[in-house]
Amino acid sequence: MSVSPAPDGGGVRGHGASVPLGGVVYVVAKAPRPGHSKTRLCPPLSPDEAARLARAFLLDTLANVRATGLVPRIICRDTAEQALLRGLVGRSATVHVQDGEGLGEAIESAFRQGLAEGFREVAVLGADSPTLPPAVLVEAFRAVGGGHDIALGRSDDGGYYLLAARAVHGSLFRDMIWSTPAVAEVTLGRCRAAALRTYLLPSWYDVDDVSALASLRRELLRLPTGVAPYTRAELFSPSNAGPGDSSSDGNGTDPLSP
């Protein structure tokens, strides 16, 4: 396997990239439900707030995909969840049910479905990085469209937020122990074993704990107001502001900062 890092260590990071692409992005998602969604953020969030934030993350993620010109889709566990997600996202994305069970089956199903429908490249994207620049998606599809077998974006927690490819590589997903700090490295090791030419995208972070939530709030205060509008509205609503916080207008301090 040859590994190509992102140019200059950072790749294309702008928030306004749209180019003609022939690919589809499947966002792996669960229907947001109080007491089931983003439980590691409770506290400081209530279960209802955490579920609303999960909804905002998903809507912003789909908007980021649409901003690139790529086709946004959702892949979920079963038909009951499909119905809930369809009610949530409306016409902004189609919702598809995976074959089998578990995250590995969901990812492999997305590649099989997308390629079978004639898309040249397929990517699977997590729904926990609402500020990921759309240009990173463009970078991934340019990499696989330009000859790389895999484009992979590592998460700060050791997993990966995105994987794009031009073929189904089931060995990357089967018998994987998910949700551990070793997922990305194990995946890269499997790429080496299969002699897959791999392109490394910029690292990013998933918002799945209180520290990452604080980082997200600080990042949103620095970014243009058009970035992640659903997440911004949820986090900076009066109900989620700490005592004396004025960050809803972009001028306050972050009440979740250490």
All structural domains of the chain with their residue ranges: 3-200
> Given this model, what pLDDT does residue 238 score?
66
The residues near 80 (Cβ < 8 Å, ≥ 6 apart) are: none
215 backbone dihedrals φ, ψ, rounded to 5°: -60, -40
CA distances from 97 to 61, 80, 157, 222 (A): 19, 10, 27, 37
Burial of 78 (0-12, 13-18, 19+ CB in 10 A): exposed
> Given this model, what pLDDT does residue 22 score?
75
Burial of 130 (0-12, 13-18, 19+ CB in 10 A): buried
Is the distance from CB of 220 to CB of 249 less than 8 angstroms?
A: no
Residues of the chain with pLDDT under 70: 1-21, 238-258
Is the distance from CB of 197 to CB of 240 less than 8 angstroms?
A: no
Amino acid type, 76: C
CA distances from 11 to 127, 166, 203 (A): 21, 20, 10
> Given this model, what pLDDT does residue 1 score?
47
Write out the E strands in the chain.
3-5, 23-28, 71-76, 94-97, 121-125, 150-154, 160-165, 198-200
- The architecture in CATH of the region 3-200 reads Alpha-Beta Complex (3.90)
Tokens of 151: 């484009």
> Sign of the CA dihedral 24, 25, 28, 33?
negative
pTM of the model: 0.86
Distance of CA 34 to the CA centre of its chain: 21
> Given this model, what pLDDT does residue 237 score?
78
Q: Which helix (H) or strand (E) holds 129?
A: none
